Amino acid sequence: MKQLASKAIETLAAALDAGKSEDLKLYLAAMGRFHRYSLHNVMLITLQKPTASHVAGFHTWKKLGRFVRKGEKAIFILAPMVRTKENAEAEEQGGNRVLLGFRGCGVFDYSQTEGCELPSIGLVAGDPSEYQERLTKFVAAHGIALSYDQAIRPARGISEGGKITLLPGMPPAENFATLVHELAHLC
């Protein structure tokens, strides 16, 4: 696994040296989707399934009411092996877990599963109607530039230096909520 991850890093470095930035964009997008994973695991996921969006182990998918389809190939990553200390030393050091090393672990992408839909945490619904127009006028009145660009994906919005960029094509309520969020960063 480590050799595979190291090879992915070398391939990325070679692509960048050759002036190809598409590979970097692919890995950066993966890092955004898998921000809780180590760089090596992001590389391993991207190398094995570039289109992966949400990964979890077999039993985690089962707890979520989803089942891995028969014949699907696991995506292998490195998982930490830890053990619990059961002595006074653990209490003195403030922790009771010790890292023993890493082992290969199979995970599956959402697209490899079937079953219940995942809860949509963080998504908003509704009709902001006239409030959207009022908010857009408020943004303009404060000299903040507002634009839309697919390049910010997977983010829904970004704000920097008096400019807000939103992901185009979001439902009206998502667009409104994201604009409010980004405006709060600038105020």
pLDDT tens for the chain, 187 residues long, are 667 777 777 777 777 777 766 766 776 677 767 768 888 888 889 889 988 988 999 999 999 999 999 999 999 999 889 888 776 554 555 567 888 888 999 999 999 999 998 877 666 888 898 899 999 999 999 999 999 999 998 888 999 989 999 999 999 999 999 999 999 998 8
Gap between the Cα atoms of 144 and 75, Å rounded: 44
Gap between the Cα atoms of 125 and 142, Å rounded: 27
Burial class from Cβ neighbours inside 10 Å (0-12, 13-18, 19+) for residue 106 reads middle
pTM over 0.75: no
Distance from the Cα of residue 82 to its chain's centroid = 25
Q: How many CA atoms lie within 13 A of 26 on its CB side?
A: 20
